[in-house]
Every structure is written in C-alpha cells, then in structure tokens.
Amino acid sequence: MCGIAGFAGVTPSEAAARSRLIAMCDAITHRGPDSAGYFVADGIAMGMRRLSVIDVQGGTQPITNEDGTVVVVFNGEIYNHHQLRRDLIAAGHRFRTRSDTEALVHLYEEHGVEMVSRLHGMFAFSIWDCRRRRLLLARDRTGMKPLSYRLSAGGIDYCSELRSFLAAPGEALSISPSAVMQYLAYGYVPDPASIFAGVKKLPPGHLLEWGANRSVEIRRYWNPGLPTADVGDERALVETLKVKLDAAVASHLESEVPLGAFLSGGLDSSTVVALMSRHASGRVKTFSIGFDESQYDESPVARAVASALGTEHTELIIRPNVEQIFESVAAMFDEPFADSSAIATFLVAQLARQSVTVALSGDGGDELFGGYSRYGDMLGKARPWPMLKLVGALGLMLPHAFRGRNRLADLGRSRWGRYAATVMQPVRLDEGGVASPSIPEGLIKIENQFDQRVSRELGEDFAAGMMLVDLESYLPGDILTKVDRTTMAVSLEARVPLLDFELVDFALTIPGSMRVTAASSKRLFRQAISDLVPKIVLTKPKRGFELPMGRWFRGPLRGRVEVLRAPSAALQPYVDRRAVARLVREHGDGRRDHSVLLWRLLVLDYWLSALATGKLSRPPSVPHAA
C-alpha cells in the first residue's frame, strides 16, 4: 500500500524536478511511512511513499523491467500476482523481487495497456514506457484506490491525494464552484470532478494514456454488467455465492505483516471475519469501537459476534473530544467530505493500527446485495401516477417550513426522481437549498448529472438499477473514499474482499428481486451466510453508524453552527446567508431536522479554512481517541 505522485511533459531541470517530486511525496508520507522512491529522467518524474506489506525487504519502488525501459509506481495490492508471475516467467520474463508490483512491468511488456483486464486487486498505478515515451495511468474497477490528474499545455501531473498538488512549489489551485454545488448535494465531490478547477479524478475502471506528443486518451476497460434473464434457480445461486464469498476472502489474506479485520457486528463484517477464521492459521484479530452513550453504541453486538467466532477481539469505548476529532477528520480528506461515519472509521482504524498493518473491511456488500433501507423503501412505494405531477408542483410552491412540503413534492417525481431525492440534498434556494444567488444557474443543475449516471439503468429492474447507480457513484465517492483516507491517515492498509471483481461480476448478474425486496434486504446474501455467522447477526435490524448530532449541535459544536451565519465564514462565497440562518434557526428551535445539511456546511467551512492556512498541503495530524 502506497501513495504515488508524478508528472510528465515539459519538466524543469533534473534537480528542480526531483525537488518538486519529493515535495509532492512528502505530503503523503502517511500513505507510506516505510520508504520513498523516485525516478527522474528527461520528461518524466515518478515518486512514491511505501507501506511495506508484501516482500517487505525487496519490494522497494519504483520497479523496472530487466533493461530499465518500463518503470512503475503502484498503490494497492494485486491478489493474483503469484499466478501472473508464473505465467510471465513461462513467457521468458525474469523477476528480481517477490513483490506484486514487479508483475506490473512485465505484464505491460507482454500485453501493453490491455494488462489492466488481467489484474485481480485494488490498484492505482502509473507506468512510464521509455521507448514510446508513453505514460499509462490506471485505477481499479470499483475505485478502491484514488488517482487524480491534471492536464496542461506542458504535460500531465497525477497523485494519490490532492495534497500532493498543494505541496508542489509554485502551485496555485482554485476552488471549482460547480464542485462545491455537487458537494452540497451529495456530501462528497463525485467522479470525475474534483474540488479544484482543472483537476479531475480518473473514474473507477478507467485508464489514461498520455503520449509525448501531448495526446491523451481516457477509456473504460471495465463495464459493470446488468442482470441476466437466465441465472438458474435460487438454490444454485446461493451455493455459487457461498463459493465466491469464500474465495474472495481467502484471496485477500496474503501479508508479511500483522493482519486483522474491522468488526461492527453487521452482516458484511461478520461474514468477512467468519470466512477469515476458516483460513487463518490462528485466531483472527478483530477491532471495534463504541460510544459511551448506549443509544449510539453497537459494540455489544460486535463483542458477541467475536465471542461466537472465537476471534482475538479488541474494542474501545470512547467519549471523543468533539472539537478536536471534527477538525482532524475533516482535514484528513483532500476534498470536503461530509459522511460523519468517517469519525468512527478513523477511530477503529487508529485502534487496529496499534496491533496490525492490514485490516479487512466489510464494505461493498450493501451496494451489491441490497442492504440499504432506501432500497426497500423505494420498492415499497407505488409507481408514480402521472396526474400527481401537478400535486408535486404545488408542493414545491409551499414555504420550506411547511411540514408536508417534501412529501407532496415527492408525489410528483418519477421513480428515479424519488430515488435521487433520497441520495441528494436540494441545492437551489427555491427548492430548500442554500446556494448563493451569485452562482450561475448552469453550475447548480445537479439533477442533470444524476440523470447521466442513471441513463443506462432505466430498465424494468429498478432494484438492480438502484444498486448499480450506487456501485458507480456512492461507493467510490463516499464509502471507499472514507475507508481509504481514514485508514491511510494512520498508515493502515484496508482491504475490501466483498469487492473482489469476480464476486462483483457474479452479483451484478442476479436479478434485483432476488437480492432485495420491499420486505427483505439482502435476500440471497442472507441465505448464503445463514450457517456461517451467529444468529444474532441475521436477526439484528440494519443500523447505519449514527452520531449524536442533535446534542453536538446544541453543545460542543454550537459555536461552529452559529459561525456559519457570520459574514467572515469561509463558505460565504458559495451560500446564501439568509438560507443558512434559516437552517440554523429552524434546527435550533426544533422545527426541522437539518442535521445532514448543517454537517455538510460545517465540514465545508472548516475544510476551506484549513486549505487557506496550508494545513491540507501536509500529512494529516492524527489525534488520540479520548
């Protein structure tokens, strides 16, 4: 696991290029505290920070092929590298290390850019072809590892985290107002946009080729499939799912450093831990955190599951310093990021890092197998009746404080419009949002971007469509970003076996109704794990991680909430002060619950302040749990 950075094209002198590259890599030392490596030549500079996991002594990067004409820096793990190594040796390639990284250069020699389709793992990497003077950037299928880039007349820059761009000498990045509007809608900035103008994220399942003639080609090498009509009977599907789940977890266990797992007591993490226990030579190390307020504490369930599975369990019950933890977690992200569960993910990662270097996570199961409650809620609603569009239009005309306004507006939406309303906050002022009137209307049409994402899912299988939309947007933009940044902040490698691409491809062929219905979530998945996990896991209702927002906004974060109304607040250029004041007032009076949007505003305001003071150009500071 590492962080990478580099640039190609018109470069300064070798000494200046190396200095700039080192600054970019120093900003991400948390991603790789064990070592650093650099490659600088005419027209190219590539660097990395390494967290040693496989071939700890010999896997230092950059790594080249036999004659030094192909160079790679790599972030991630390739789980099928042993098989690739055998095939490549049989084809005449010679290896100098035991690392999975070295397989990449030889695979590129053998198959060119088509190599990416043969990789089984999580990855973001760059390969420089010295003969062709060609740079290849690639990102894994579901976006487990991040990769951003920027094109210019002189060439291309890239990095794992945007703080590398901020740390480079002479950089001047400007905020994209359009990206701020997307953030206010989603709580994150979705691919391929970034918070900075002119900087983009390489979307999951894509590769980018940059040539010395300044040519650029970006293409998708993996397309998630759609359900097939003939998938066989349900019993056979359950048996196949059992086999694929087992294989996925088993493939993620290779490590030369201590390895463990996060355990929340939910379906997904319990499944991963149960399958780890089948293959581990000793007791699996598991980790969970809880809060000392019982209504927000799920640690007893995790403790019960750990006991039933016989793991070596570590838990920490905490009362965090809210001000400190809020600031630290907000600044861990290279873009504004408002999923409050990042606090819990960071705390459990920090706990795990005291004992292990690698931790398996249960993320991805909800998007693949129908775990979110919104799926059932949407499927339980009757199809929209065209005549109700008028009722919905009338609802939008009501005052924002009118309690039935949103329910009436929902009646007039299409099925996808209703779903969009569950995953997006309104941005326009006249819809209950907070966008500044000075923001051009064209930058606020967030629903158009959502429509583009669902254009290929407008079939009859609405359940499968919802899951696929989340797989391509919410999963990489929110869930995997959260896991990557919070674990890397403490130099912990997180692996996500439920996103093994063979398991993903299989899950996507299953009709939505076999995965989730209005009355039952994760139907097929529950059957597959029924004899694997403790019964308490199967009967416990799903509960997303919750924070005591109401108490925090009235207590330790009250001052921050009030500051949002001040003319000096960092977010003022992007929001309407009167709209923000209304949110604060209505929430404080108990008339409306604006916790979600207020949290987004708090994070945005602090993140912009941290950017202005240079805090985001350095590795994140890590507080101790209290």
**pLDDT digits over 485-515, tens only?**
999 999 999 999 999 999 999 999 999 999 9
Q: Name the token pair of 366.
A: 């909800």
pLDDT tens-place string over residues 584-621:
888 887 778 888 999 999 999 999 999 999 999 999 98
* Res 434 pLDDT > 70: yes
Q: Name the token pair of 193.
A: 């946009």
Tokens 């019950």, residue located: 317
Q: What is the pLDDT of residue 345?
A: 94
Between strands 199-201 and 148-152, the pairing is antiparallel
Per-residue pLDDT, averaged over 170-198, amounts to 95
Decide yes or no: CATH 3.40.50.620 for domain 224-547.
yes
Contacts of residue 214, defined as CB under 8 A and 6 or more positions apart, other chains included, come to 9, 153, 155
* Res 59 pLDDT > 80: yes
pLDDT tens-place string over residues 199-233:
999 999 999 999 978 899 999 999 998 888 778 88
Question: pTM here?
Answer: 0.94
432: left (phi over 0), alpha (psi -120 to 50) or beta: left
Instruction: Report the chain's terminal Cα–Cα distance, integer Å.
Output: 28
**Buried b / exposed e across 5-26, counting CB within 10 Å, b at 16+?**
bbbbbebeeeeebbebbbbbbb
The DSSP line for 261-304 is EE--SSHHHHHHHHHHHHH-SSPPEEEEEEESSGGG--HHHHHH
Q: Name the token pair of 416.
A: 């996808």
- Reference 493, options 95, 49, 66; nearest CA is 49
Q: Name the token pair of 191.
A: 């691919």
Contact 313/290 with Cβ under 8 angstroms? no
- Reference 503, options 295, 312, 364, 299; nearest CA is 364
Per-residue pLDDT, averaged over 353-367, amounts to 97
Rounded to the nearest 10 degrees, what angle do helices 595-612 and 322-332 cross at? 70
| Active site amino acids | 2
Q: With bands split at pLDDT 50, 70 and 90, how would you rate the model's confidence at 93?
A: very high
* Res 393 pLDDT > 70: no
Which amino acid does the sequence have at 187? G
Q: What is the pLDDT of residue 171?
A: 78
Distance CA 327, CA 311 (A): 34
* Res 450 pLDDT > 80: no
What percentage of residues in the chain have a pLDDT greater than 90? 72
Q: What is the pLDDT of residue 471?
A: 95
* Res 376 pLDDT > 70: yes
Q: Name the token pair of 513.
A: 């109704």
Taking residue 257's Cβ as centre, other Cβ atoms within 10 Å add up to: 14
Q: What is the pLDDT of residue 228?
A: 84
pLDDT tens-place string over residues 537-577:
998 877 656 677 777 887 888 888 888 988 889 999 999 99
Per-residue pLDDT, averaged over 161-178, amounts to 93
Supply φ then ψ for residue 6, to 5 degrees.
175, 180
CATH number for the domain whose boundaries are 2-220: 3.60.20.10
Give just the sign of the alpha carbon dihedral 504, 507, 512, 514.
negative
- Reference 162, options 606, 609, 485; nearest CA is 485
